[in-house]
Structures are given as C-alpha cells and as structure tokens.
DNA sequence: CTGTTCACG
DNA sequence: ACGTACGTGAACAGA
C-alpha cells in the first residue's frame, strides 16, 4: 500500500458548503453553516480515505500570474456575501486548531498549489486525493491522483470520483484535454470567454477528432460545422490564451513539506473548544473525553444496586431540601432511576433483585412528602411513581417551556446548555443511539447509568436558575399556580382515559367503506381512468389538465385541490362534489374510525397524552390520539362521538365556555362598548352587526350577522383584510371596510391591538393577563411576510393565551374539588374551551355546580364568563 | 422527511 | 411588491 495525501481546495469546498446547505448561526450570532459543512465533508473523506498526509490550499487576495496575462480574468466574479466572507478566518482558525496544514502562495491560486503538491506527491510515490468543488481540477487526474467532487443530491452529499479513466469515460477526453475543453467552451465563473458557438458537444467532438486546439486550427478547413469553423478561425488567439489561463500550474514554487502535512490527531482540546463555541454539537462526540478533559461530572456518578444501599440512599435523599430524579421506563418496564443529591453526588439505581419498580415508585412517592423532587418531566414520572397531587415537585421542562415556549423540545442537554452556563452534556441519542432502554438495561450498559445520572443532575442543577428566571420574568405565579398543579390534573385525565365502543366504531368504519368504494368508482368513471384520489398531484392533473376544469395553480408544488378551492368549482363538474365527499369519508375512516380503533387499550378506554409544553400560546395539545379534534361540525362526523361513552353508572357532563376569547378581548381591551354589549346581549355577533352597520337589532340579516361573526373571529386572529376577504369570499376592499367600521364602533379595541404590536416590538414578547409570555421574534424581521405574521401573533397570543390560562385554572379547581369532596366523578377531557366530566349519576347536581362555579370563577373579568352545559349518555348527546 | 389536506378550538 | 387569517395533530403521497 502506498502512502496517501489528501489535498483540499479550501475556498471551493467552503463555497460549496455555503451555497449547498442552510446557514447556521451560533448563539453569539456568528455565521457558521459553511464551516460546519466543510468539516462534515472533511470528516467524511478522512473516514473514507484514511490518508497519512493532509493539506488545505487557499487562494490569496493578491493578483496572480493569470491577471498579468489577462487583466479581465475573474473580473466579473460576483462579490462574496458577508456571511461567507466572515467564515474564512473561522475555518482557518479551526484548521489551525486541528493542526491541519494550510497552504497558500502569493501570485498563485489554490488550484496551482494543489496541482504542484499533487505532482510532487506522486513523485514521492504517494496516492493523491484532491477534494474540490471545481471541475477544472479534473485536468490533474492521473492513475494515481483521484479528484473527488462532492455535490448535493436530494439533500445528501454524494462524491463523484475521477481518476484518469473516469474522466475519459464521463467526458470522452483525457485529463489534459479538459483544459482544451474549457478553453473552447469558456467558463463564466472565471470570465474565460471560450469560442462563441462552441458548446460541450462540439468541443468534445473537435477534441476527439483533432486532439488539441492547435491541431484543430491547423485543420480548420476540414471542420464541417460552419459556425464552429469560422468561430475557431476568428477566435484562435483567444482560445490559446484561454487555454493558458485554464492550465493549472504544476510547478509553482511551493515546498512539499512532508512533515508539516503529516496528519496527527485533529481532535485536539483547542478544536473541541472552538466546536463548542460554534455550537457544533454533532462533532463533539468525535473527541476523546479524556483528551479534551470535559465532563468531569461523570466522576461523581455512583451505582447503587443493593437494597441496603438503596435504603440508605433514599433515607439520605429524604433529608435533602431537594433532589433530582430521573426515572427510566418505557411501555415494557421500569429499568432504574437516577438520583442527584447535590451537584456532585449522583446515583444510578438499576431495577434489580429486591429493588423493584414498585420499590422505586414507593420511595419516590415518599420523597415527595419531605423533599422537592425535581424532574425533567414530572407527568411522565407520575405514571410510575407514587406521587400525590400534594407532593413537592419541580418540573424543569415546564419551567423551561414558560421561559421560552417556542422551542420544540426541552431535553436535559438543552436545559443544561441554556441554564447552566452553556454546559454541554451528552444527550440520550449520543449516549444510547438507537439502542432501547430495555436493551441497554439487559446488557448493563454503562451509558444507561450515565443517562440516568445526567438527567437527574440536570433536573437538580437547573432548578435554581429556572426558578430565578421565572421570578425575574414575573412568571413564577403562572408556574406554581397554573402549570405545576396542572401536571397532576392532566396526569389524572390521562390515567382515566375515556371509554370507546370498539365494535360500534368498527361498524361505523365499515359503513364508510361501502360509500367510499361507490364514490371511488364514480370518480374513476368520470375521470375516465383509475388514479389515486388521495394524491393531490394526480388529482390536480386529472381535474385541471385532463378534464380541463378552470381553476389555476396555487401551491408551489402544483395545483391546489383543497376543499375551499374545490367548493368554488362544484358547479363546473359533478366530479368535484364526489371528490369532496370522498375526501370527507376517507378522512373519517382513516383518522377516526381506524385511527381511534387502533389505540383502544385493554381496559376498553383510550388514553390520550395531553402535552403541556408544545404550543406557543399556552394551550395544551393532545396526541396519540388527538382527542381535541374529534369531528363535530358535520353531522356524519359528529356521529363518531356516540362511541365515546361513560362507564356504567356514569353520565357525561360537558361544559364549555361561550366565546371565551371574545370575552377576554372585551376585558383586556377595556372597550366599554363591547363590555356593555356582552352585559346586554345574548347574541353577540348579531349585536356587533347591528352596531357596526348602524341598524336596529331586529333588522340584522343573517348575512350581516355572518359577516360580523367573521370579523369578530378575525379580530381575535389578528385581523388582516386579506384574511377576512378569503374567509368571506369578498374583495379585500370590502373586507377592509368592514374592519374599519368595526374599529370605529369599538375604538378601544384598535388601540389595544396596536398596543400589543407595539409592546411586542419593544420588549420582544407579548403577555397574557396572568403574565405568561410569548416571544415574537418575527416582529424584527426585515421580511414583510414574516413581520406581518409577527403582528398577527402579537395580537392573537395574549387573547388565546389568556383563555388558555383561564381554562387551566378552571381544570385545576374542578379537579381539586372532585378530590376534596371525595367524588367518584372525574375530569376526562379538555378541548380548549370545553371540559368533559365522567359523572357518577348521584353526583350530577354537585358536579354541575362545581363546573359552573369553578369555570365561571376561574377569572374575574369585566364581562361574565358564561358556561353552557349538557348531559348525555355519550359525547354526542352531551354536546 | 416535507408538503398538502383536513379535523378541532 | 410581497401573498396570510391564530393555535394544534394525523394521514397520506412522493421524493
């Protein structure tokens, strides 16, 4: 085996990474995407080639020998964007810290350096690999020198490899003729004009026939193609110059400093620190922890795997003011727990022998009575730990969510970074990869111990800074009085679940299937062919091309076939209504009939998960399954609610707030007229219409009421004339007129909404009545679209968020009273403005009273909070 | 893995 | 000129 040298075209690869990948910025706002991409390619190629030597060549700013020959050379090259420019020194710094040799030479380009070093490397008997994004380098390919050209295909980096033979295969010319090819064809990037009228095809043919430009010129009369013949005759001198310019110099005065190029350990401590600074988390694991001297926390991890030790451990934990706990479990079992008694005292307790899941559950439950139990995610822990609603707990995930609800995850390693001075811990993925907890536990992997301890450590250590920040931001009350008690409320709802009649659901689904098949046949018949109706792409082609139904493009990817578009086309062709019905039925079948059927558990009930840290506004969300979007608006879909039933001896009581968001708006804006309207009117939309259009209440037409209702909604969403016009199918002008009239009628609302936008711009966030914040970074955007979005968000979030706060308060109060009054009835669902209680029949009056009192009393607004309540033997009836 | 569509508030 | 109403989650298609 020969020794191998890898030569990299620095600017070219950096450039490619910059344009081919999304830009990144680190926490200090430095642009880093191109450097990241460069390193990614570097690591990939190093892994593949395992060279003994490595050098990265860079261009210099001084003019080169090419400029001397041809002053226009690269004259029109577009200037490098600032975001890329500033990454060059960053890359050089990184390479220096990785102890990778960089080479550059005044008067020469990186190409020339690569060519020279490649030649010298070959002379020393080495294999040479050149990594570049520039195809010009192909002229350097030989039997021992391979050119590697990375490109992005389908989001993946693939590398094309060229030795001499591959160049011949792909371009039908020898590497040396690559120069001739370029001289003939020209190169816009380097401002080389080439021969007008000669493209790749002609150039290749000429070279195949004559071998070189000179020889072609000496046989110019024989060239059959007229255009090429005359052009070559006229531009021969230029072509010769081009050739000269395109030729890479392989004997530039640069030393082959073998020792300097020798590849050592690139994962140095200095490089590690720079990677940290740049937020290159994915690279950090490549570094040897011992080498970079990080993660000294692991020295404080201990294993406790005997009963006696555990007894002592939990005894000691019970004396502490607070402990961090991480419980490792999944659907198949409980594997162990991490305990942090201090920042330098972490224990891993695997489930083993006498230390059972039940033992841990009990011990953690007891801890909650004497000590603050800090956890990344209390609700999940509650499923396997016997903590009661009066336990002292601290939920780091929820605290972090309140401090920044825009994040998508709140993992321990993120929290450590954000709240422990940028401390970097290995995450779960990094420790275990795709290995399941169960497998790691069965094989006693040390990574499982690390996971448990890191998690417990973070839960313990972030509590103080999280608490301080919550206090600083005025959100401590929202945290302690709303979110933290809600953890237990939601846990209880998840544990109870809701009974669903599987058989009936199946029957419902089968009925749908019959009609779906009918419609499918009908649609195919009308279309004149079978196709996938579920594919918007195929459907668009059928409707708008084959059947030529008028109605143009909308989306980036093709035609829009969404319901609101199709509804407008219903009169054009009967197929449209069939498609709409088909869509409706397949939705009901796949998402609800089949989807819900698949998640009924052995107890005959569905146990959804209510997520508390997802939404930007403070609402909760529901997953697996989502029980907050069960059909209700259309009768056919609404029937699904009949399969949601209470247990024998119970009924459903369903209570929902009437127009809570509009009432919140009335209160927060303090608009006297709207407040007065709510005090008087039973139909707020009708009254709005009457006031906005200046007509007596009795004379409001249904259309006027509908319009007023749409405006009311629009106000809550952060009004825009375009949005309203879309909703009402009217012109923007008309919509704008409605809005103007609305604001004239309720002047304080305009002032209130403008104030929210202003506050958002000034402070960077908006707040609910209870102090919950939502950052609105979009308001700072220079992009009109983004900024407008930010404005609507600033107007909507305080309203939606306050309503969310209110119902959360109500839920906690209802839950508490059901417990305190020792009732059998239980809260099972929340749908944003609605609570569903599975009510023991004897308790109906008491529960009705509780619901009414606690929902209405959850907040003291300038307008009444009105609650509508219904009772039924299934969810359909109770709505 | 992203975009489209559609169910809810 | 830009091209959207606010907040979610699930299924499906097509790369």
In total, how many domains does chain A have? 4
Range of the domain at A571: 499-606
Helix ranges, A33-163 (H):
33-49, 65-69, 82-85, 87-97, 110-123
Closest listed residue to residue A619, CA positions, set A764, A469, A486, A759: A486
CA distance A595 to A615: 23
Nucleotide nearest to A721 (CA to C1'): C5
Residues A403 and A366 in one domain: yes
Q: CA–C1' distance A187–C7 (Å)?
A: 52
Beta bridge partners of A323: A373
Q: CA–C1' distance A526–C10 (Å)?
A: 30
CA distance A174 to A143: 12
Does residue A180 lie in a domain region? no
Q: CA–C1' distance A183–B3 (Å)?
A: 44
Q: CA–C1' distance A611–C8 (Å)?
A: 11
Helix ranges, A383-445 (H):
396-403, 412-419, 428-432, 437-442
The answer to whether A458 and A396 have CB atoms below 8 angstroms apart is yes
B3 C1': nearest CA residue: A557
List the nucleotides on chain C closer than 7 A to a protein CB: 1-15
Q: CA–C1' distance A453–B3 (Å)?
A: 40
A393-398: long-range contacts, CB 8 A cutoff, minimum separation 24: A393/A368, A393/A484, A393/A487, A394/A322, A394/A459, A394/A463, A394/A466, A394/A467, A395/A483, A395/A484, A395/A487, A396/A458, A396/A459, A396/A462, A396/A463, A396/A466, A397/A613, A398/A479, A398/A483, A398/A484, A398/A487, A398/A612, A398/A613
Q: CA–C1' distance A708–C12 (Å)?
A: 37
Does residue A590 lie in a domain region? yes
**A578 beta carbon to strand B: under 7 Å:** no
Does residue A527 lie in a domain region? yes
What 3-state class would DSSP assign to A867? strand
What 3-state class would DSSP assign to A144? coil
Q: CA–C1' distance A533–C13 (Å)?
A: 11
- What is the number of other CB atoms lying within 10 angstroms of the CB of residue A299? 8
What is the H or E stretch that residue A575 is in? Answer: helix A574-587
Closest listed residue to residue A463, CA positions, set A619, A354, A325, A572: A325
Residues A542 and A596 in one domain: yes
Q: CA–C1' distance A583–B8 (Å)?
A: 17
Q: For residue A230, what pLDDT is reported?
A: 81
Nucleotide nearest to A535 (CA to C1'): C13
Q: CA–C1' distance A599–C13 (Å)?
A: 24
Nucleotide nearest to A716 (CA to C1'): C6
Q: What is the pLDDT of residues A409-436, one digit of tens each?
A: 999 999 998 999 878 899 999 899 989 9
What 3-state class would DSSP assign to A708? helix
The tokens describing A68, both together, are 């001397």
**A570 beta carbon to strand B: under 7 Å:** no
**A629 beta carbon to strand B: under 7 Å:** yes
B8 C1': nearest CA residue: A629
Domain boundary pick from A768, A798, A828: A798
DSSP state of A460: H
What is the H or E stretch that residue A151 is in? Answer: strand A145-153
B/e letters for A681-714, b = 16+ CB within 10 Å, e = fewer, are eeebbbbbbbbbbeeeeeebeeebbebbbbbbbb
Q: For residue A238, what pLDDT is reported?
A: 79
Residues A547 and A690 in one domain: no
Task: Check which CATH number belongs to the domain holding A420 and give it.
Answer: 3.30.420.10
Beta bridge partners of A839: A651
Q: For residue A188, what pLDDT is reported?
A: 64
**A636 beta carbon to strand B: under 7 Å:** no
Does residue A83 lie in a domain region? yes
Residues A160 and A255 in one domain: yes
Does residue A278 lie in a domain region? no
What is the H or E stretch that residue A373 is in? Answer: strand A372-375
Q: CA–C1' distance A508–C7 (Å)?
A: 30
Does residue A819 lie in a domain region? no
Domain boundary pick from A591, A606, A621: A606
List the nucleotides on chain B closer than 7 A to a protein CB: 3-9
C5 C1': nearest CA residue: A723
Q: For residue A699, what pLDDT is reported?
A: 95
The residue ranges of DSSP E strands in A584-676, in sequence order, are: 605-606, 609-611, 621-623, 644-645, 650-657
Angle among Cα A754, A796, A703 to the nearest 5 degrees reads: 95
C4 C1': nearest CA residue: A723
Q: For residue A207, what pLDDT is reported?
A: 79
Residues A305 and A429 in one domain: yes
**A831 beta carbon to strand B: under 7 Å:** yes
N-terminal to C-terminal alpha carbon distance within chain A: 78
- What is the number of other CB atoms lying within 10 angstroms of the CB of residue A331? 5
Quickly tell me which residue has 């010129």 as its tokens. Answer: A217
For chain A, what is the radius of gyration of the CA atoms? 35
Q: CA–C1' distance A583–C14 (Å)?
A: 19
Residues A719 and A757 in one domain: yes
Does residue A271 lie in a domain region? no
Does residue A75 lie in a domain region? yes
Residues A669 and A576 in one domain: no
Closest listed residue to residue A653, CA positions, set A859, A816, A850, A501: A850
Q: CA–C1' distance A347–C8 (Å)?
A: 39
- What is the number of other CB atoms lying within 10 angstroms of the CB of residue A8? 28
The tokens describing A333, both together, are 């079992």
The answer to whether A840 and A834 have CB atoms below 8 angstroms apart is no
**A562 beta carbon to strand B: under 7 Å:** yes
Residues A23 and A166 in one domain: yes
Q: CA–C1' distance A591–C13 (Å)?
A: 16
**A833 beta carbon to strand B: under 7 Å:** yes
Write out residues in chain A with pLDDT < 50, as ranges.
76
Nucleotide nearest to A789 (CA to C1'): C4
Whole-number Cα distances in Å, A580 to A168, A515, A547, A632, A633: 57, 13, 16, 18, 15
Q: CA–C1' distance A483–C7 (Å)?
A: 18
**A641 beta carbon to strand B: under 7 Å:** no
Angle among Cα A503, A506, A512 to the nearest 5 degrees reads: 150
The answer to whether A811 and A830 have CB atoms below 8 angstroms apart is yes
Domain boundary pick from A798, A824, A845: A798
B/e letters for A483-508, b = 16+ CB within 10 Å, e = fewer, are bbbbbbbbbbbbebbbbbbeeebeeb
Residues A467 and A340 in one domain: yes
The answer to whether A90 and A228 have CB atoms below 8 angstroms apart is no
Q: Is the peptide bond before A676 cis (omega within 30 degrees of 0)?
A: no
**A723 beta carbon to strand B: under 7 Å:** no
C1 C1': nearest CA residue: A784
Pairing of strands A127-131, A4-9: parallel
**A584 beta carbon to strand B: under 7 Å:** yes
Task: Check which CATH number belongs to the domain holding A682 and give it.
Answer: 1.10.150.20
**A563 beta carbon to strand B: under 7 Å:** yes
**A602 beta carbon to strand B: under 7 Å:** no
CA distance A581 to A563: 10
B5 C1': nearest CA residue: A562
What 3-state class would DSSP assign to A150? strand
**A585 beta carbon to strand B: under 7 Å:** no
Q: For residue A205, what pLDDT is reported?
A: 82
Residues A141 and A24 in one domain: yes
B2 C1': nearest CA residue: A557
The answer to whether A459 and A326 have CB atoms below 8 angstroms apart is yes
**A771 beta carbon to strand B: under 7 Å:** no
**A557 beta carbon to strand B: under 7 Å:** yes
Nucleotide nearest to A712 (CA to C1'): C5
CA distance A480 to A11: 54
Q: CA–C1' distance A1–C10 (Å)?
A: 56
Task: Check which CATH number belongs to the domain holding A526 and give it.
Answer: 1.20.1060.10
Q: CA–C1' distance A577–C1 (Å)?
A: 36
Residues A451 and A557 in one domain: no
- What is the number of other CB atoms lying within 10 angstroms of the CB of residue A856? 17
Nucleotide nearest to A584 (CA to C1'): B6
Q: CA–C1' distance A641–B4 (Å)?
A: 27
**φ and ψ of A573, to 5 deg:** -160, 135
Nucleotide nearest to A660 (CA to C1'): B9
Residues A254 and A304 in one domain: no
Q: CA–C1' distance A548–C12 (Å)?
A: 25
Whole-number Cα distances in Å, A164 to A72, A133, A137, A637: 32, 17, 12, 66
DSSP per-residue string spanning A233-250: HHHHHHHHHHHHHHSPPS
CA distance A184 to A207: 10
Q: For residue A156, what pLDDT is reported?
A: 65
Closest listed residue to residue A135, CA positions, set A90, A84, A173, A96: A173
Task: Check which CATH number belongs to the domain holding A124 and give it.
Answer: 3.40.50.1010
């Amino acid at each position: 085996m020969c020794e191998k040298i890898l030569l990299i075209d620095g600017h070219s690869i950096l450039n490619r990474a910059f344009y081919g990948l999304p830009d990144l910025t680190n926490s200090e706002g430095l642009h880093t995407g191109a450097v990241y991409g460069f390193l990614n390619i570097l690591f990939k190629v190093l892994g593949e080639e395992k060279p003994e030597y490595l050098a990265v060549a860079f261009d210099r700013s001084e003019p080169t020998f090419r400029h001397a020959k041809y002053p226009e050379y690269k004259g029109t090259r577009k200037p490098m964007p600032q975001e890329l420019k500033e990454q060059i020194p960053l890359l050089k710094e990184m390479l220096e810290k990785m102890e990778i040799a960089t080479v550059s030479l005044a008067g020469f380009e990186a190409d020339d350096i690569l060519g020279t070093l490649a030649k010298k490397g070959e002379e020393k008997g080495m294999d040479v690999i050149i990594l570049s994004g520039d195809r010009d380098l192909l002229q350097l390919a030989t039997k021992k020198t391979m050119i590697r050209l990375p490109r992005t295909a389908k989001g993946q980096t693939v590398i094309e490899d060229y030795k001499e033979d591959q160049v011949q295969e792909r371009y039908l010319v020898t590497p040396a003729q690559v120069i001739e090819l370029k001289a003939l064809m020209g190169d816009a990037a380097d401002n080389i004009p080439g021969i007008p009228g000669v493209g790749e095809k002609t150039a290749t043919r000429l070279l195949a026939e004559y071998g070189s430009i000179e020889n072609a010129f000496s046989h110019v009369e024989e060239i059959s193609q007229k255009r090429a013949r005359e052009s070559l005759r006229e531009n021969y001198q230029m072509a010769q110059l081009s050739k000269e310019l395109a030729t890479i110099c392989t004997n530039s005065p640069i030393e082959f400093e073998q020792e300097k190029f020798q590849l050592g350990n690139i994962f140095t401590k200095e490089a590690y620190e720079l990677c940290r600074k740049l937020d290159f988390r994915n690279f950090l694991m490549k570094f040897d922890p011992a080498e970079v001297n990080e993660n000294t926390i692991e020295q404080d991890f201990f294993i406790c795997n005997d009963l006696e030790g555990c007894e002592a451990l939990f005894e000691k934990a019970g004396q502490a003011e607070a402990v961090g706990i991480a419980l490792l479990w999944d659907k198949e079992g409980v594997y162990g727990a991490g305990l942090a008694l201090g920042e330098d005292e972490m224990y891993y307790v695997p489930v083993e022998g006498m230390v059972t899941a039940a033992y841990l559950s009990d011990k953690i439950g007891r801890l909650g009575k004497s000590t603050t139990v800090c956890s990344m995610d209390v609700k999940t822990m509650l499923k396997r730990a016997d903590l009661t609603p009066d336990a002292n707990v601290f939920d780091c995930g929820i605290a972090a969510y309140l401090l920044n609800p825009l994040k998508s995850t709140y993992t321990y390693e993120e929290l450590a970074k954000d709240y422990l001075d940028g401390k970097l811990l290995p995450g779960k993925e990094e420790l275990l990869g795709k290995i399941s907890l169960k497998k790691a536990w069965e094989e006693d992997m040390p990574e499982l111990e690390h996971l448990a301890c890191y998690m417990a450590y973070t839960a313990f250590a972030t509590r103080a800074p999280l608490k301080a920040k919550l206090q600083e931001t005025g959100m401590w009350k929202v945290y302690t009085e709303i979110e933290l008690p809600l953890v237990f409320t939601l846990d209880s709802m998840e544990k109870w679940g809701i009974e669903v009649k599987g058989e009936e659901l199946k029957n419902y689904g089968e009925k749908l299937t019959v009609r779906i098949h009918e419609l499918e046949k009908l649609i195919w018949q009308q279309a004149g062919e079978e196709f996938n109706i579920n594919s918007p792409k195929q459907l668009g082609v059928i409707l708008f091309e084959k059947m030529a139904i008028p109605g143009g493009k909308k989306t980036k990817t093709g035609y829009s076939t969404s319901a609101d578009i199709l509804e407008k086309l219903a009169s054009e062709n009967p197929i449209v209504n069939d498609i709409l019905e088909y869509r409706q039925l397949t939705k009901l079948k796949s998402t609800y009939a089949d989807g819900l059927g698949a998640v009924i558990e052995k107890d005959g009930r569905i146990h959804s998960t209510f997520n508390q840290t997802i939404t930007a506004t403070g609402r909760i969300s529901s997953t697996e399954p989502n029980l907050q979007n069960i059909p209700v608006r259309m009768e056919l879909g609404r029937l699904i609610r009949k399969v949601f039933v209470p247990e024998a001896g119970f009924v459903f009581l369903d209570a929902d707030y009437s127009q809570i968001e509009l009432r919140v708006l009335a209160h927060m804006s303090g608009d006297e007229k709207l407040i007065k309207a709510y005090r008087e009117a039973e139909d707020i939309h009708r009254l709005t219409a009457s006031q906005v259009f200046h007509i007596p209440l009795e004379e409001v037409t249904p259309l006027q009421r509908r319009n007023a209702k749409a405006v009311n909604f629009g106000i809550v969403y952060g009004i825009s004339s375009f949005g309203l016009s879309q909703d009402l199918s009217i012109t923007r002008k008309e919509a704008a007129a409605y809005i103007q009239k609305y604001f004239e009628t309720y002047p304080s609302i305009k002032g209130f909404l403008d104030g929210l936008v202003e506050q958002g711009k000034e402070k960077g966030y908006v707040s609910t009545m209870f102090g919950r914040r939502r950052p609105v970074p979009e308001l700072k955007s220079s992009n009109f679209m983004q900024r407008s979005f930010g404005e609507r968000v600033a107007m909507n979030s305080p309203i939606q968020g306050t309503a969310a706060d209110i119902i959360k308060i109500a839920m906690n109060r209802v839950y508490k009273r059901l417990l305190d009054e020792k009732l059998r009835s239980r809260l099972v669902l929340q749908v944003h403005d609605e609570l569903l209680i599975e009510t023991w029949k004897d308790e109906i009056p008491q529960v009705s009273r509780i619901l009414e009192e606690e929902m209405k009393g959850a907040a003291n607004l300038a307008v009444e909070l009105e609650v509508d309540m219904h009772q039924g033997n299934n969810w359909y009836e109770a709505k």
